[in-house]
Amino acid sequence: MTAENAETAGAPGTTGADLVPAPLTYTPGPGAGPALGPGAVLHAAPGTEGTARLLRAFLGLEPSGAEHGPRVRLTVDPELAGGPEAYRLIANEDGVLITGGGPAGVFWGAQTLRQLAGSDAYRHAPLTGREWRLPAVTVEDAPRFAWRGFMLDVSRHFLPKAGVLRQLDLMAAHKLNVLHLHLTDDQGWRVQIDRYPELTATGAWRPRSRYGHRHSPLWDERPHGGFYTREDLREIVAYAAGRHITVVPEIELPGHSQAAIAAYPWLGNEGHGSPGVWTDWGISPHVLAPTDEVLRFYENVLAEVLEIFPSRFIHIGGDECPKDQWRTSPVAQERIAREGLRDEDGLQSWFIRHFDRWLSERGRRLIGWDEILEGGLAPGAAVSSWRGYEGGIAAASAGHDVVMCPEQFVYLDHRQAPGEDEPMPVGWVRTLRDVYEFEPVPPALAGQEAERHVIGTQANLWTELVDSEARADYQTYPRLCALAEVAWSAPGRRSWPDFAQRMTRAHYARLDALGVAYRPPGGPHP
Ligand code: TNX
């Protein structure tokens, strides 16, 4: 190893080269590393051409290099230990060989190569003519969890398509593979549905926002809104697929549905009229009526959603379902009696069971927030456990898949330091270290048969208070870097001091090059 390489490669025995997330193993040497010039040859096995294209763009490699000099080779070996997302990267004087268990593994290996090349490989400007000196190294790597997610709430504040594509690039750089898009809520419906144009004509717009007190910056008289067309969403899905990321859409029901009810008041309960799109925060009292017409409506909505999103999981929300309107509604009470349900909890679970069945019949799987446990979990349902571990433990123990995302650790709308100058007025503090030290498998499940039902974890960015891309960046980074390591790296590779050092030595520079408006380690005003 040359002295120059030693700096980036890290000391043997550490996680090496300041990679984030930390790989399974990192073995320096032997000999010198490659220098990749613009003419470096890039061979891509079938299925890895997309990764090759992106690598060329990251490193400014010419489309067809001369037949001499170091090579980058991308290959697939289905026998590689660790599954389709695993990879092995060997860098030596001859070049770089990335072997993936599948095309996804090759893609994650390419992300590691980009980190090895240094922060300049994250700049947007074309870098033609640049030579990249890489350390000599063998990296063996595989993800801990299959679901490594980021949830983005585009309902409370709309994020235009370009912003979503940019977030996908950032996720890919961190080996995250699930974008959970929270597309509907009380404050806005963001997905175009051909059959029901009012959902976006009316439901995508609110006249003002009322957060906090009259003088708060998020108490305004400005209209807010926007939505994605089918074409926008198809583009997002394809862009994600090119980065081995699955987009899981969320269509909320039966609560958090005021925007839909504003568009089609008959979706709501009798006597409550058109509530308009909600301009407030918190839990709206409006809830879907338990009628056959409402079920048909959401089947038709979901049918269009399935045409756009090929993901196996479809999120139907299910959280914070307000039940007061049902208590006084003759239609709801009649439904409870007719179906032999115990109470309003049973009614909530009646909705979820219906869509669990409906999605299963179409080869998809339902996932919902942990409130879907209330009144009995639908047979095929998976659970996003957000109110703590308990819902997740109950679901996993009953044989249901779980994504652990407790608000006590991974809520990105919570402030990241107690200081007065933190921009978020939310009271709870979840520091970078809190996120880093989050363990998705609680002791109650560790070593148990049910542990395998913890399929992963995700961080959730709720955007009641996040009204710009810069704010979204600030809330999300660097905490999503920590979550990425929680989701990807083996527990034995995780160490807070080591992570903090890798961040300072190398990773903040990568985020800088990417133009991410992250929270600086010293706080908002260093
Ligand atoms: C609870 S988490 C909610 C969201 C809010 C969030 C704010 C969940 C499933 N429901 O509607 O945005 O708290 O932290």
Its pTM stands at: 0.96
Looking at ligand 1, which atom is closest to the CA of residue 464?
A: 12
Whether the CB of 280 sits within 6 Å of ligand 1: no
Assigned CATH class of 147-491: alpha beta
Per-residue pLDDT at 311: 98
pLDDT in tens, 343-375: 999 999 999 999 999 999 999 999 999 999 988
Q: Find out whether the beta carbon of 320 lies less than 6 Å from any atom of ligand 1.
A: yes
Pick the atom of ligand 1 nearest to 426's CA. Answer: 14
Q: What residues have CB less than 8 Å from 53, skipping those under 6 apart?
A: none
Give buried/exposed letters for 228-255 (b at 16+ CB in 10 A, else e).
beeebbeebbebbeebbbbbbbbbbbbb
> Has the ipTM of the complex gone over 0.85?
yes
Q: What's the confidence (pLDDT) of residue 66?
A: 65
Percent of the chain with pLDDT over 70: 95
Q: What is the pLDDT of residues 302-325, one digit of tens each?
A: 999 999 999 999 999 999 999 999
Domain boundaries, the chain: 3-141, 147-491
Residue 11 pLDDT class (50, 70, 90 cuts): very low
Instruction: Tell me if residue 320 is catalytic.
Output: yes
Tens digits of residue pLDDT in 229-243: 999 999 999 999 999
Give dist(CA 310, CA 110) in Å, integer: 25
3-state secondary structure of 385: strand
Helix, strand, coil % in the chain, rounded to nearest 5: 35, 20, 45
Q: What is the CATH number of domain 3-141?
A: 3.30.379.10
Give residue 65's pLDDT.
Answer: 62
Residue 64 clears pLDDT 90, i.e. is over it: no
Task: Compute, in angstroms, the gap from residue 447 CA to the centroid of ligand 1.
Answer: 31
Q: Give the Cα separation of 419 and 5 in Å (integer).
A: 39
Which residue's alpha carbon is nearest to atom 9 within ligand 1?
A: 319
Q: Give per-residue pLDDT as tens, 454-464.
A: 999 999 999 99
User: What is the position in ligand 1's atom list of the atom closest to the CA of 319?
Assistant: 9
Whether 147-491 and 3-141 are alike in CATH topology: the answer is no
Q: Which of 220-234, 332-346, 412-426 has the lowest mean pLDDT?
A: 412-426
pLDDT for res 15: 52
For atom 6 of ligand 1, which residue has the closest CA? 462
